[in-house]
Every structure is written in structure tokens, then in C-alpha cells.
Structure 1
Amino acid sequence: MTLNKLDQAAQDAGISLRFINAHGESETISDETKRALLAVMETPTGKAPPLPPVQVFAARSKRQLTPQGSGTFSWQLQTEQGKSFSGEVQGGELLTLPPRLSQGYHLLTLRKGRQQWQTRIIIAPRRCFIPESIEQGEKLWGALVQLYTLRSDDNWGIGDFGDLAHMLEKVADYGGDFVGLNPLHALYPAQPENASPYSPTSRRWLNVLYIDVNRLEDFQRSQSAQRWWARAKTRQALEQARAAEFVDYSAVAELKLTALRFAWQRFQPRAADDASFQQFIVEGGDHLRYQAAFDGILAERSQQHPDEWGWANWPEGWRNALLPEVQQWCAQHEDEIQFWSWLQWVAQEQFAICCQISQELGMEVGLYRDLAVGVAQGSAETWQDPELYKLGASVGAPPDRLGPQGQNWSLPPLDPHVMRARGYQPFIDLLRANMRDCGALRIDHVMALLRLWWIPYGESADKGAYVAYPVHDLLAILALESQRHRCMVIGEDLGTVPKEIVSLLRNSGIFSWKVLFFEQHGDGSYRQPHEYPAQSIASASTHDLPTLAGFWGFKDLSLGHKLGLYKESVLIPLLGQRDKQKQALLDALHQMNTLPARQSKVASRVSFTPLLNRGFHRYLARTDSALLGLQPEDWLAMTSPVNVPGTVDEYPNWRRKLSVTLEEMFRGKVPGLLTAVNTGRRKR
């Protein structure tokens, strides 16, 4: 079938001309959407060079290239290790790379006369890193923690890296091997109410509100800081922030940034002589500098324009990091840039200490981080690199039964053509920033490695189209960085997963996610523990789903109805479906003998008791998944969710704390529950 010019251009750019909708029907993308997305992309134009900007070779693939053109080319290959190879090749003929070329990043230079072209050569392993104990069949478990929800006797109203260290110690005490975390990406300390960890300002830097101020020697030894700390007003504000049911981000930010500026004033005279800090500045380069500048400018502007959101609302001369007005501000505010850079250094140092603690405790995985699918429209990332992020589009999901209008996440997509033109360096930098100091990385919406639903800016989600990403190249680079960092990879593959990526993820050593609520057979019965694949992480729930107690008590459905998410006509069938799910779950627990025989076998007569909770945890402990992640909310039988998808202001998302402090949590029924889990995981 011959395509018209528009369809051919769209297909060449990676825009799918049609997709399978929620009803299983093929749906065609409109011409308006194709034109809008083509206008957004940086598709290659002009005469193609003899070689592409990057060539990725996976394990055992033939390492050959064919320079396009005629005549004789001379070539030189400079390896990452500093070795050099050279030779000549005719245009149109195969160029075979040197044998036994090591895994890594190499540079191939092609010359003809006065012209030269460079290609990055990437040699990658076949699979991502997997710890030897898991390869040997060990079954590990750990906690899945939204860090900001942690309460403690010492924190300042939000969970911090000090609490994380405490959590690691307690989980390790009961035999756990990891603590999984929400995205720790940088947010907006000057506008702290923008609190979603999945809409960050940068995925390469950290949220500085997680700094444990108590552990900073410069805060403890600053006389000014200690005078401020001793004031009744400060102590009262701290106690209020600590006692609040939901994280009061504004109060937390005001307390922490005040304290951190005191600490900085004491550290600043030593900054130029601190080798570790100066190395951090050098390694961070312009990316760190402009992240710090963005934070500084945002802090300055927020004092005068508290309701202003995103750099797009700044004066025109300030809407790009490289504009003269911004450069002048940077030259005049070096101390401010140093302050925000120092905060990133402190955050990174404290997180690295947590990683070290996990290793000292003998935890097999230790920490695992979460990589969000993108950054916010008005973020520091888009401000300093607008070419890479396509601001004329947003990513989301097409319409389905639960969301008839589709989803628009207000996150601008990465342009796959720009990534490729840059030798995939932005993707490599992103992985390196998130794989450091941890044993596993969870990739949110892992299907984004294959395709993303792009929506032209300003349009509704149903006006979008799928855009393809170079999945084989990205998976190869992911495997290479995973092996180098000894960091296993978990892919969030819930929902509709394209068939073409399932085997790719499995063969690449990426772990799947298996949520108890969803693991049903076609007849509605729940999968038995032995049916869970080894290359997966099992969990009862996630941050986007109800807790175990909330699920059992219909709390999520009643809350959704109250918030206007479910009309009565939708709610009634959902309640009926939940009744069937509960009965099927209870049947599964009895079948596996994780509940006493005396426990009623009729779900409608069973309330969510500690006995039932333990039955769920014992059931999950027996799954064949190599990893099991458990939420403290479920240990505590909490019913309120931390996030309600589809809401913005209707519910206090990303704010609900745990019901008790860390100190209290490990004194009640939780130790017995975790002991039962550990026993179940260790049985072989």
C-alpha cells in the first residue's frame, strides 16, 4: 500500500498511523494530529551523513557498519579505554569493527578529504544486572516506602534521609533486603506545594527537603542557627509540622531552608577548599549550575509573584537559561548558585550514607530508586534544554474504559530524534544519576522505552498518537549502565502492555511488577503463589491503588464517589465487582492455608482484622517472585490512600503521612507480621 506524503512523513518520524483502542478496534490517527506532532519534532533534514550519529551493538550481534557514499574513507576507532584502531573502507562496503571490542562507549571517526564524521559506538551486554543470590533462587523481601510519609520523633514534619537510615536498620533487623522509594527527584523548594514526585523539575537531582538537618554539623555548630532553633516560635512551628496528619510542605520548606541557610553561612568560608564539594561542582557542570540558578531565580521571583507557576510566565528574557538576562543574573548571584548547589551536594552525601548503611547491614539490594516518566512543563530541565523536551506536546494515555477522555500528564516528551543525534547522552546521564548509590532502579511506565502517547499541546488526550522510541538501543544502554552500576532494573508494566515489549523486557533481565489485586485468571480466581514468575516483584498494592484495608473495606470506591470520580451508575457495578474479588481473594488465602480453618469462608462476613492482614502477608511471602515489596501502610492496616489518580485539588495527594512514628511502628504488631513474612520467604 502506497502512503501519501503526510502519512509517509509521520511514519518516518515514528508516529503510528493507527492504534488499537480500548475496545480492541483499530483506530486511525487524524491528519491534524499528524501535522501537529510533525511540527513539534526535530526530525532529521538534509543529506544524511555516511554514518548515523550513534550505533548500538547488543551482545553477540555482528559489529559491522556500511558507510554510505562512494570513494575511499579512512577511519579511526578510539576506544573508551584509550586504544586506537584505524583503516580504510570503500563507500557502500562493510566496515567490520575490531574483534573483542570491550563493552562501553567508543568513538569512530570517518574521514574523506577535508570532511569528517563521528559516530558513537556503543557495545552493550545482553541483560541487566541481577544479584547472584537471585540468580541462585533466593527470594528477597523489603519495604516500599513513600519517604515523605514517614513520621519520627526527630524529623521536621516530613520523612528524611535520617528516617530512611532508621527504616533500613529496622527492615534489615527482620530479614528484609531492600527499601524501595518514591522518586527522589528535585521538586520546587521555593514553591513546595507542587509536591508530586512524578512531576519533578529535574530527574537528575534530588529533592533537598529530604535533607536531615539534624545531621549537619554546620547547623549544630552555628551559633546563629542554635539561637533560632531555641526560639519558642521555631519550636512551635516544628511541633505543628511534625504533628500534622498531612505533610505541610510550606511549613517544612520554611523551617528547613531557614536552617540550611544558617548552615551554609558557616560552611561557605570553607567551600572553596572542600575537595569533595568542589569535585561535585565540577562533575555537575552546567547542568548543576543551571539547576541551582533555576532554584535561585524561582526563590527570588516567588517572593514577589507567589502564584506564578513555571518559567513560561517569567518575562521573555528569562525563559531560557542561556539568555543574556539570565547570564547576567548568574554572574551577579554566584553565592546563591553556590548555596543551591551545596544543597544538592548535602542531599547526595546523605543519600550515599544511606546506601553505605544498607551495605553494612548486609542487605542484598539495599536501596532502590524510582525513575519518573518525565519532568513538568515549567521545570528546570525544559528551561535549560528546550530542544530535548518537546514543549509543543504532552504525554499521557489514550481513552480507555476507566478514563473515557484519556489521560494527559502535562509532561513534555523527550524527542527520540534529538536523543539519537546526541548519541543518547541525555538518556545515559539520566540513568547514571539515578543508578548511583542504589541496588535497583524502578522505571515508571516502562512501556515508554517502546512508545509514548504524544498529545499536541492544548488538545485533549483523545487527540494524541503513539510515537515510537528506539527500544532496542535504549534497552542495550540500560543493560550496560545496569551492569556497570550493579543495579538491577524493575519495569512498572501495569495496565495495557504492548505484546512486542513483553519478551524484550524479559530477555533484557528487567523485572516485571505483579500486584496482588490484578493477578486473576480469566474466571476471576486469583493466581496461586507458585504461578508468579521468578523475574518479578510482587506487591499487595501500589501508591496509585488502595491499601489492603482500604480495598477490603471499599474505602477507595466510596472516596472516589465522594470526589466525583464515580457516578452512581459506575459505582454500583464496581461494588459488585469488588464483592467478587474479595471472595476470590479469601478463597485463595484458604486454599494456601494462610488463614486458620476456623476463619469464615464468606468474604461478606469477614472484616479486616490483624488475622486477615497476616493471612495476606503470608500469602504474598510464598509467591515465587524473586522480590516482594510490602507497604508500611498495609502493616498498619491504614485505609486512606497516598494518591488518588485523576484528582488534583480534590484530594491532598502526596501528603498523607503514616499513622504512627517509626519508633512506634516497630513496637506493636508489625514485628510479628514481618517475622511471618521473613519465615515465608526463607522457606525453599
Structure 2
Amino acid sequence: MNNRDLVDRARHVGLSMRWRDAAGQIHRVSNESVRRLLAVLEGHGAPVAAGLPPMIVTVMGQLTPLSLPDGTQATDFRLETETGEVVEGPLRRIRGRPALPPFRSCGYHHLSIGPHATTLAVAPPACPTIDARMDGAGGMRPWGVGAQVYGLRTPGDGGIGHLGAVATLSRLAAARGADALAISPVHAMFAARPDQYSPYSPSSRLFLNVLLADPLAVFDTATVQAAALRNGRAYVDTVRMLEDAPLIDWPQAAARRYELLRRLYEERIVPHPPAELAEFRKMRGVALEQHAVFETLHAYFSTRGGRGGDWRQWPVAMRRPDSPEVARFAYEFASDVNFHVFVQWLAARSMEQACGAARAVGMRIGLVADMAVGVDPTGSECWSRQQEFLVGASIGAPPDALSPVGQDWGLTTFSPAGLRAGGYRAFIETVRAGLAHAGGIRIDHVMALERLWVIPQGGTSAEGAYLSFPVRDLMRLVALEAARANAIVIGEDLGTVTSAFRTMAHKHGIMGMNVLFFERTPQGAFRPPVTWSANATAMTTTHDLPTVAGWWQGTDIDWRVKLGQMAPGVDGVTLKDERENDRTALWAAMTTSSAGPAARRKPGAEKPPATAAGAARVVDEAIGFVARAVCPLAVIPLEDLLGLHEQPNLPGTTSGHPNWCRRYPGMTATVLSGVDARRRLGRLRAGRSS
């Protein structure tokens, strides 16, 4: 193969041969890396020999240019809308090309042109706005709280926070004026792999993490308590110990949770299966059955050798969800399959009730769900949809100053060709699942709608390349699904983002994120909140960043020094010196009474020391500062409302730091009642009222 052929093939699948780093330097992807990636990319979504593509995506009110199959003589179209309305007429012409006239009815419609048929997705121009969700109500600009679901505490929760606590927190936050509660991802994980608990490394984004299900969503308190007691004294003692611990012991707590769920299932569900469970199973169809079968297969093979956790190492017949051998296995292990259907129903009921609680108490946005950027290639979603995912490649980030060898997240993503060949089914259903019980969704690493760094299996991140995605179609589909759910969309757009992408996201109503630590001028000064974006959500921090108290005290630096997680040539002393300069700059910005030339310092605005007491003052000021942002929504993580100094996750670490294990202090029912939390909520409300 000559180099010209390689370049042409790479361009055809959307693979870039060159990439620009943060310093502006151009790098070329090696021919060997391109060949290895092509071996994966060219195996998905074979082009259709004739006919229209499986889906055409357009925007209401716009002409839609078409590429008709060769030999098509038809000059008319026929459109049958979702509601059964039929529209017929002649095709138009745009610069010599056939085109559909503008349509006003959003949705997924059946389009026929001569002998050819397809689905026409007509999207609104943009996602619903914050104003639309607020019903035009005046007064205080909306704000919300962010929380890690697993970290919430409820009596009897067994050591893992659940969606019942989310409902409780919704009611508490709403009573204090909140209109939104942003939660960590609730995607399905692996029942047989409790040591994999990062919410951003799911088995499937189509289903829920059953460890977050609240048994009280279906059973009464007496039934749940009786089932726990029947598990024995050792079980009860262990659960009590797990509930009191500051960190989650995921393997232990998961095992105890499954013991309880299995007993409830066998004693209360098997003898008298609820009609609602049967209806849920029917409505979720083949996808739910395949997920339940996968969980059963995964547990079966995980006990039979180290490679059993990866379906790609299973016997060949078991690698295809539609094989006769898988069907026989599902029949033989029907009881286990049925159990996994039950726990998904329980989780769905829990999520539905949490969402309902938020709306019932007056939250005008409600829950804001979180959608991970990818899935574990050994998980349920990839097993059941192999042609729609790049199961032979992983995603991550190219080498940069902070990570000289780059990043491999251990996840995979959609195949662009597979998406098109499947009529974008996989993408639509993923977004729809995230919005099923929410008033909004946060899309992690939203730049993935445009491009992702993909790495050949077994290779290093440095051997990766950027892969392009059909960003225009994907953004339109996000807008369509958001409109159908009447939900807002927030895109995690931190890091290197092109101005063209931001412009397109803004056009489609996808809000970005303005995070305090990153809102700085080129000279290093912190930007006043009046200059932040009117198309973003204002935040003090995120789960991947230090809390305000931790940042002020340098807790994150201490962790990086301890774990040796520093860029080459940088040591702890340098980082602490830089942080002191940053503290001075942040305090100056927060204590300036106006942004104009006559700006004055607030009385008593001497910079606090980098101690716990000093950090408490800074947290107050930071929340008030962020609350004044012009952003249409502000979300303050519970960690900052409580003044905590440890962050939920330290990126780049898989051991040494207790990622995704921290529990909030105190019970959820009283978590916002403390003096500090009430004072900070007052600062937040005041800032949003200004």
C-alpha cells in the first residue's frame, strides 16, 4: 500500500493524519498507527449498495439537500409523520441538487422517494433553554446543587448512597430555592465486577447502576428490614460497619446489597410477580433481555478464569447475543436473567421517583443526569451492539505537558460508520436513556460529538489519532431528543475546544461550563463574573478538580506530590509557589466590589491563610462570586456547600487516591441544615438575586 492510498483511506473514515498540540506544534500520526486503526474502523458499517441512507437529519424550517441513488427518476416525495399525517409534494432544487421542502413538524418521520425509503429526523433549531424550563418566571436566576449519588447517606443504605437519598436531597434543596440537582452518572456497571465502580466507566449507558436502586421504591420499610435480618447477624453487623465508614468499601458493600436484593426478589417477587414488572420487561424489549443475559453470562464466565470478564475471550458462540447457544444459556439460567431484569426495574422505579420528587417540590429544572463519554469495551453495550462500537480501539487524550505519555481511559466509543449504518440508533437511544427521568443532561467531554482521540488496541496513547464524527447530525439529534424530553443540555467543554465547535454548540443550545478555576485572562487574573458566558453553567468546581477548600489549602498538590503525579521538571515547591500566586489573584478578584475602573476592595478583605479556617472564608466568597455570574444557571457541588477539602476523583490515578469512594458527612436529611451550609446557601441565593 502506498502512502497516497493510506491517506485516502484515512480521510474516508474520518481519521486525521496530523494533529496540533496545546503549544501549536503539528505532529504526524505514524503509518503503522493508521493501519492498525483502519483495521478497526473499516470493519464497521459497510455502505449500503443502493437506496437512501438509513436516516437523514435536518432542521425544521430548512430546505434539506439530498443525494439520491444513481438512476432515481422520482421527482416527488411522500412523508408520513410520527402522528400519522401524510405530506406529499414535488422535490425542490438547490444548485442543481434535489431537496426536500422545509417541514415544521419535529420528530422521526417516514420518508419515501420513488422506491427508496428512510427515516427523516426533523430537529428543532436548538435545545430548550433555561428560560423555557423556568416558564418565563422572573425573580431569582436559577441555581442548583451537584451531588455524587453514591456518597449520600441514608439510614440502612448498606454503605452505598442510593436514589432514595437523591429524592430526599431534591426536597431539601428545593425548599431552599434550588431549581436543579445535578447528579453523578447512574449508568449500569458490572454485577460481577464490584471493584470497577467509576461512574464514568460503565458497562452500558442504556441501563442503570442497580447498586444505586432504593429498595423502598417498591417495598415497604418493614419488608426491607425483615429481609435484612433474615440474612443473619453477621450480615447486619457488616452492613452497620459499612454505613459508618467514611469511604465506600465497594466489593463488600456491593456483595451485601446484592444479598438483600436477591432475598427480596426470591421471597417477594418470584411468588407473586407484579404486573408492572412484566410491563416494564415488555416495553424495554430485546435490549433489556440482552443486558440481563449479559450480566448472567459475565458472572458465569468470571468465575471460570481470569479472562472470563472480557466477552471477547468467551467461547465463540457466546460472543454473539443472537446465537442459539446464548438463547439456550438464557433458558437454562432463566432465574438469574429474571433477577437482573427485576433489579433494573427497581432501579428505574427509584430513578423515576427521584425525578418525580424533584418536580413535585417545585424544581423547575429538576434532576440533571450525567452521560459518560464512552463505555467499557468488555461491557454489555458493546457485546450487544458490536457493529456500532469500536471494540478494537480505546479513547483518551494525546500527550501533553501534564501527561507526556497521553491518556488511555480504558473506554471505547461509537463507530462513526456504524452510527450512520444504524440510522444513529445507538446514539439516539443513549441520549434518550439519559433523559428518561431528568430535566436536563450533562454530556461528559462534549467535544466527542466532533472528534475523539482513538488508540489502537494494545497501543500507547502516543500511537493514537483524532477521529471525526458527524457533529452536525449529532448536535441536531441532541436538540431533538432534548426537545422531546423538554430538557436542558450542558456540555462539559473544559480543555482545548475550537471556537468553531463552541459556535456550533451555542447555535444548537448546548450550554458550556464556566468553572471558577479556569475563568482567567491570558495574564492570569481571574475574570469577574459579569464577563462569564451567557451560554454556560457557572460552577465553583467539578468532580475532577479540587474543592475550593482543598484548592486553597493545597490538598490536591499534597496528593500529587505523594503520588508522584507531576509534569517533568516540576516539583512540589514550584506547585505551591504557583498556588500562592493564584490564591492572591483569586482573593483579589473575589473581594473587588465592582469590575469597573473605580473598583474597590471590600472592608476587611485581607487574604485568609491557607488553613482550614481561612479556607472556610474563601469558600463563602467563592460561592457568592460564582453565583453572580451572568450564566443562566449556577450549580454548586455539595462538597463546596459543606466546605470539604477532599475531591471525589483525582484524574490520572487508579490507585493511591480513594476515587469515587468518599461519603458525605452526616445524613442526607440534615446535610443542608448545618450553620455553614445555610450561610453558603444564603450567599448563593443572594448572588443569583443580584
TM tier relative to shorter chain: over 0.9
In the alignment, is the contact (CA less than 8 A) between 1:617 and 1:673 conserved in 2?
no
In the alignment, is the contact (CA less than 8 A) between 1:158 and 1:210 conserved in 2?
yes
Amino acid at match of 1:665: V
Q: Which runs of 5+ in 1 are unaligned?
A: none
Post-superposition CA distance 1:337-359 (Å, at most 9, x none): 12111111111111111111111
Q: Which is further off, 458-467 or 560-569?
A: 560-569
Which residue number corresponds to residue 421 of structure 2?
Answer: 421
The equivalent position to 1:189 in structure 2, one of 182, 191, 194, is 191
Q: 1:496 to 1:257 in 2, by over 3 A?
A: same
In the alignment, is the contact (CA less than 8 A) between 1:595 and 1:612 conserved in 2?
no
Post-superposition CA distance 1:374-417 (Å, at most 9, x none): 11021011111211111221111111110111111111221111
Shift of 1:59: 3.3
TM normalised by structure 1 equals: 0.93
Shift of 1:309: 3.0
Query: What secondary structure is seen at the aligned counterpart in 2 of 1:591?
Result: coil
Which residue number corresponds to residue 387 of structure 2?
Answer: 387
In the alignment, is the contact (CA less than 8 A) between 1:280 and 1:345 conserved in 2?
yes
Separation in structure 2 between the aligned mates of residue 598 and residue 408 of structure 1, nearest angstrom: 47
Post-superposition CA distance 1:541-571 (Å, at most 9, x none): 1111111111111111111111121278412
Shift of 1:306: 7.6
Separation in structure 2 between the aligned mates of residue 604 and residue 336 of structure 1, nearest angstrom: 54
Which residue number corresponds to residue 13 of structure 1?
Answer: 13
Shift of 1:240: 0.9
Q: Which is further off, 370-379 or 143-152?
A: 143-152
Tell me if 1:353 matches 2:353.
yes
Separation in structure 1 between the aligned mates of residue 428 and residue 78 of structure 2, nearest angstrom: 24
Shift of 1:226: 5.6
Q: Which is further off, 373-382 or 566-575?
A: 566-575
Which residue number corresponds to residue 283 of structure 1?
Answer: 283
Shift of 1:585: 0.5
Amino acid at match of 2:629: T
The equivalent position to 2:108 in structure 1, one of 105, 116, 120, is 105
Which residue number corresponds to residue 331 of structure 2?
Answer: 331
Shift of 1:219: 7.5
The equivalent position to 1:151 in structure 2, one of 153, 169, 172, is 153
In the alignment, is the contact (CA less than 8 A) between 1:208 and 1:347 conserved in 2?
yes
Query: What secondary structure is seen at the aligned counterpart in 2 of 1:4?
Result: helix
Amino acid at match of 2:649: N
Q: 1:599 to 1:154 in 2, by over 3 A?
A: farther
In the alignment, is the contact (CA less than 8 A) between 2:217 and 2:353 conserved in 1?
no
Which residue number corresponds to residue 170 of structure 1?
Answer: 172
Query: What secondary structure is seen at the aligned counterpart in 1 of 2:63?
Result: coil
Shift of 1:630: 1.2
TM normalised by structure 2 equals: 0.92
Shift of 1:64: 4.1
Which residue number corresponds to residue 489 of structure 1?
Answer: 489
Shift of 1:197: 0.5
Amino acid at match of 2:61: R
Separation in structure 2 between the aligned mates of residue 606 and residue 335 of structure 1, nearest angstrom: 53
| TM-align CA RMSD | 2.7
Which residue number corresponds to residue 78 of structure 1?
Answer: 80
Query: What secondary structure is seen at the aligned counterpart in 1 of 2:386?
Result: coil
Tell me if 1:598 matches 2:604.
yes
Separation in structure 1 between the aligned mates of residue 224 and residue 679 of structure 2, nearest angstrom: 44
Q: Which is further off, 632-641 or 136-145?
A: 136-145
Which residue number corresponds to residue 459 of structure 1?
Answer: 459
Separation in structure 2 between the aligned mates of residue 134 and residue 520 of structure 1, nearest angstrom: 33
Q: 1:78 to 1:134 in 2, by over 3 A?
A: closer
Amino acid at match of 1:548: V
Which residue number corresponds to residue 528 of structure 1?
Answer: 528
In the alignment, is the contact (CA less than 8 A) between 2:145 and 2:635 conserved in 1?
yes
Shift of 1:477: 0.8
Amino acid at match of 2:553: G
Post-superposition CA distance 1:492-541 (Å, at most 9, x none): 00001122201001111111101101111112111111111222111111
Shift of 1:665: 2.8
Tell me if 1:240 matches 2:246.
no
Shift of 1:315: 3.5
Separation in structure 2 between the aligned mates of residue 245 and residue 518 of structure 1, nearest angstrom: 30
Tell me if 1:127 matches 2:130.
no
Amino acid at match of 1:343: V
Separation in structure 2 between the aligned mates of residue 392 and residue 592 of structure 1, nearest angstrom: 55
Separation in structure 1 between the aligned mates of residue 129 and residue 462 of structure 2, nearest angstrom: 39
Which residue number corresponds to residue 204 of structure 2?
Answer: 202
Which residue number corresponds to residue 39 of structure 1?
Answer: 39
Q: Which runs of 5+ in 2 are unaligned?
A: 595-599
Shift of 1:310: 2.5
Separation in structure 2 between the aligned mates of residue 656 and residue 602 of structure 1, nearest angstrom: 27
Amino acid at match of 1:474: L
Which residue number corresponds to residue 649 of structure 1?
Answer: 655
Amino acid at match of 1:107: H
Separation in structure 1 between the aligned mates of residue 160 and residue 408 of structure 2, nearest angstrom: 29
Separation in structure 2 between the aligned mates of residue 253 and residue 338 of structure 1, nearest angstrom: 19
Which residue number corresponds to residue 589 of structure 2?
Answer: 588
The equivalent position to 1:666 in structure 2, one of 653, 672, 686, is 672
Query: What secondary structure is seen at the aligned counterpart in 2 of 1:349?
Result: helix
Separation in structure 2 between the aligned mates of residue 577 and residue 223 of structure 1, nearest angstrom: 53
In the alignment, is the contact (CA less than 8 A) between 1:374 and 1:411 conserved in 2?
yes
Q: 1:10 to 1:359 in 2, by over 3 A?
A: same
Q: 1:557 to 1:226 in 2, by over 3 A?
A: closer
Query: What secondary structure is seen at the aligned counterpart in 2 of 1:387?
Result: helix
Amino acid at match of 2:374: G
Which residue number corresponds to residue 597 of structure 2?
Answer: none
Which residue number corresponds to residue 626 of structure 2?
Answer: 620
Separation in structure 2 between the aligned mates of residue 497 and residue 90 of structure 1, nearest angstrom: 37
Separation in structure 1 between the aligned mates of residue 519 and residue 528 of structure 2, nearest angstrom: 9
Separation in structure 1 between the aligned mates of residue 45 and residue 626 of structure 2, nearest angstrom: 50
Shift of 1:141: 1.4
Amino acid at match of 2:26: S
Post-superposition CA distance 1:164-217 (Å, at most 9, x none): 111111111211111111110001122211101111000010000111224542
In the alignment, is the contact (CA less than 8 A) between 1:202 and 1:375 conserved in 2?
yes
Separation in structure 1 between the aligned mates of residue 319 and residue 429 of structure 2, nearest angstrom: 24
Query: What secondary structure is seen at the aligned counterpart in 2 of 1:368?
Result: strand
Amino acid at match of 1:386: Q
In the alignment, is the contact (CA less than 8 A) between 2:124 and 2:480 conserved in 1?
yes
Separation in structure 1 between the aligned mates of residue 54 and residue 367 of structure 2, nearest angstrom: 35
Shift of 1:81: 1.9
Shift of 1:218: 6.7
Amino acid at match of 1:120: T
Which residue number corresponds to residue 251 of structure 2?
Answer: 250
Amino acid at match of 1:202: S
In the alignment, is the contact (CA less than 8 A) between 2:111 and 2:118 conserved in 1?
yes
In the alignment, is the contact (CA less than 8 A) between 2:61 and 2:103 conserved in 1?
no
Shift of 1:238: 1.1
In the alignment, is the contact (CA less than 8 A) between 2:319 and 2:383 conserved in 1?
yes
Separation in structure 2 between the aligned mates of residue 327 and residue 70 of structure 1, nearest angstrom: 43
Separation in structure 2 between the aligned mates of residue 90 and residue 614 of structure 1, nearest angstrom: 60
Q: 1:384 to 1:621 in 2, by over 3 A?
A: same
Separation in structure 1 between the aligned mates of residue 420 and residue 45 of structure 2, nearest angstrom: 10
The share of aligned pairs that are identical, in percent, is: 32
Query: What secondary structure is seen at the aligned counterpart in 1 of 2:570?
Result: helix
Shift of 1:619: 1.3
In the alignment, is the contact (CA less than 8 A) between 1:174 and 1:678 conserved in 2?
no
Separation in structure 1 between the aligned mates of residue 45 and residue 386 of structure 2, nearest angstrom: 17
Query: What secondary structure is seen at the aligned counterpart in 1 of 2:157?
Result: coil
Amino acid at match of 2:54: P
Q: 1:47 to 1:505 in 2, by over 3 A?
A: closer
Q: 1:630 to 1:605 in 2, by over 3 A?
A: closer
Query: What secondary structure is seen at the aligned counterpart in 2 of 1:355?
Result: helix
Amino acid at match of 2:565: L
Separation in structure 1 between the aligned mates of residue 256 and residue 608 of structure 2, nearest angstrom: 51
Shift of 1:44: 6.1
Which residue number corresponds to residue 540 of structure 1?
Answer: 540
Separation in structure 1 between the aligned mates of residue 259 and residue 192 of structure 2, nearest angstrom: 12
Query: What secondary structure is seen at the aligned counterpart in 1 of 2:79?
Result: strand
Amino acid at match of 1:544: D
Q: 1:222 to 1:409 in 2, by over 3 A?
A: closer
In the alignment, is the contact (CA less than 8 A) between 2:147 and 2:181 conserved in 1?
yes
Post-superposition CA distance 1:398-452 (Å, at most 9, x none): 1111011111111122111111111111111111111011111000000000011
